[in-house]
Amino acid sequence: MNEEKKSNEIWEWIKALLIAFGLMAAIRIFLFVPIEVDGISMMPTLEDGDKMIVNKIGYTVGKPKRFDIIVFHAPDEKDYIKRIIGLPGDEIAYEDDILYVNGEPVKEPYLDLYKEEFDEYPLTEDFILEDKIESMVVPEDHVFVLGDNRRRSKDSRHIGAVSMDKIIGKTTIVFWPMKDFRFVD
């Protein structure tokens, strides 16, 4: 009897572990995934080596918003972290370091620190969307993304507009290093 009880207990532990691993795998595959910031293209908002949580379900129930920080599959077989600047149908331009969306100036408070540092030169060079993606507006089912470190970012100015089906998800939580735990926007 004792041997049978021990065998049942072991089997229960195995089942519990299998269920736990299955749930963990499902959460990682379908809901949330960790990602590490690689490079300086999102400074000062994100630092090289920051570890973040990517919400993979956010855009299945909602739509991207301007200034969301997203992770997407880039053309060079890497995943990039960038900020959405333009949504489908938007006309985007920069002039004198000011973002214009559909002809209206839009504030980018997350760039204030860098703009103060680089007071002599613009952080973002002047351009109109047509010069970068050969379209006057962001195409349907695409977004236009930029890194916050505009001088050191490979983004839509170089790779073109990002198709919505390439977006992995939105990220707002830095969880590592622990001392830098924070929500970003």
Q: Where in the sequence numbering do the catalytic residues fall?
A: 41, 82
Q: Tell me, what amino acid is at 135?
A: S
Kindly state the tokens that stand for 6.
């021990």
DSSP per-residue string spanning 48-84? TT-EEEEESSHHHHS---TT-EEEEE-TTS-EEEEEE
Query: Under a CB-based contact definition with an 8 Å cutoff, are residues 83 and 69 in contact?
Result: yes
> Cα angle vertex 125, ends 120, 126, to 5°?
115
Q: What DSSP state is assigned to residue 137?
A: S
Question: Would you tell me how many other CB atoms lie within 10 Å of the CB of residue 140?
Answer: 8
Q: Structure tokens of 183?
A: 């929500």
58: left (phi over 0), alpha (psi -120 to 50) or beta: alpha
